[in-house]
Amino acid sequence: MATMMESPATVYSDNLYQVASRSHMVSGSSQGPFVEFARAHPKGAVRFRPFEHGLNATARRSIEEFQIYPFESIEEFCRHIPYASGKKDFFEKTGRESFEVFQYVFKVPGDDKEYHVMWDYNVGLVRMTPFFKCCKYSKVRDNSVGVEHEHPKMR
């Protein structure tokens, strides 16, 4: 079992849940990364809650195809992630030194890879990478003819 790192979020259980314990790893990586889920209380205001409550039967059936974990308890698993980058202007711009996030993993039907989603529940910043990866988009488009016309700043 993994050890828990200190976090400003108030942990109320010693149980860590890993995607790997369900024999899956995020994005199909053979060496990790594992996504740890520790039950914890949110720190600060929760302005951007999970979507999972109040869904009608049709929406629930559609969502079940994506095998979201931990569906119906996303809000119980929050993380504190210190901002670590060479760009130290994050604090100047936001007044914050870390992200307070909710997280979940999902699978695209017909694909065994798990994609890790997280968003800052205080300010609403969303990590978009898993949505691009699950649609098989690369980070940067290739230099095919016409890209400059679509996006002039990509020259």
Classify residue 30 by burial, with Cβ atoms within 10 Å: 0-12, 13-18, 19+: exposed
CA-CA distances (angstroms) from residue 120 to 35, 80, 87, 155?
16, 9, 19, 32
Global confidence as pTM: 0.65
Residue 139, pLDDT score: 66
pLDDT mean over 70-95: 83
Does the pLDDT value for residue 53 go beyond 90? Answer: no
- 101-154 per-position pLDDT tens digit: 999 999 999 999 999 999 999 989 899 999 999 998 876 666 555 555 555 555
Does the pLDDT value for residue 5 go beyond 90? Answer: no
pLDDT band with cut points at 50, 70 and 90 for residue 96:
confident
- 8-44 per-position pLDDT tens digit: 444 444 444 444 333 334 444 444 457 778 888 999 8
Residue 111, pLDDT score: 92
Residue 148, pLDDT score: 53
Quote the DSSP letter at residue 148: H
Does the pLDDT value for residue 90 go beyond 60? Answer: yes
pLDDT mean over 39-54: 90
Answer whether 43's CB lies under 8 Å from 100's CB. yes
Q: How do the domains of the chain map onto residue ranges?
A: 10-154
